[in-house]
Amino acid sequence: MIFLMLIDTEEDKRKFVILYEKYRNLMMKVAYDVLHDRYLAEDAVHSAFVKVAKSMEKIGEVDALETKRYLIVITKNATIDMYRKRSAQMKKEIYVDELAESEQPLTYMETDIDNRILDILKNLPVKYRDVFLLKYSSHMENKEIAQVLRITEGNVRQRLARGKEMIQKAINSLEDGADETSGSNGPVVI
């Protein structure tokens, strides 16, 4: 494993191998749920494991709930970065043949909105973002989330509600900003 070259001590190397074997399938599921592409999900998990290898001192017991939570969050962040890169690449791919045939203006609304929404999610306070990621990307029930995060189900519901309010306010401010800059409610036309 190339990852082991990033780790100094033998004890940390053994711990990393155990982490890899125990959590790689969970991390793959988390990444696949967002990207819906096995190869991109593998890249995201690989990127997450590079980050794990570089920060082994932050990881406690292999079976600890905190370790599982930490790995899920690192995977989510790597997956979001991968999604952004893919969206940016797809936005830039314009084929000359397609432009010649099409008389309609090009729009970039969907990818811009997707990136803005991902920014909103990434900028949520950690306690709300983690609950959202576990609920909507990992498709966990409130009871499972409460167990993973060691909080009550009521706290899970409350964080979801408050997180939704924060997201709604951020989306409203994006829409207000778009209305002011474009002068319309439609997509930006080029």
**Alpha carbons 77 and 55: distance in angstroms, whole number:** 15
Tens of pLDDT along 123-134? 888 888 888 877
Q: Residue 54: what pLDDT?
A: 87
Tens of pLDDT along 148-161? 788 899 999 999 99
Residues of the chain with pLDDT under 70: 1-3, 87-115, 177-190
**Alpha carbons 151 and 135: distance in angstroms, whole number:** 14
142-149 helix and 153-182 helix, angle to the nearest 10 degrees: 100
Domains present along the chain, CATH in parentheses:
1-93 (1.10.1740), 106-184 (1.10.10.10)
Say if CB 107 and CB 187 are below 8 A apart.
yes
**Alpha carbons 177 and 141: distance in angstroms, whole number:** 35
The Cβ of residue 60 has, within 10 Å, a number of other Cβ atoms equal to: 11
What Cα–Cα distance (Å) separates residue 175 from each residue in 116, 124, 163, 164, 171?
Answer: 11, 18, 18, 16, 6
The Cβ of residue 174 has, within 10 Å, a number of other Cβ atoms equal to: 16
Using the Cα atoms of residue 50, residue 55, residue 56 and residue 62 in order, give the sign of their dihedral: negative
Q: Rounded to the nearest 10 degrees, how much is the dihedral formed by the CA atoms of 86, 70, 9, 53?
A: 0
Tens of pLDDT along 105-115? 544 444 556 66
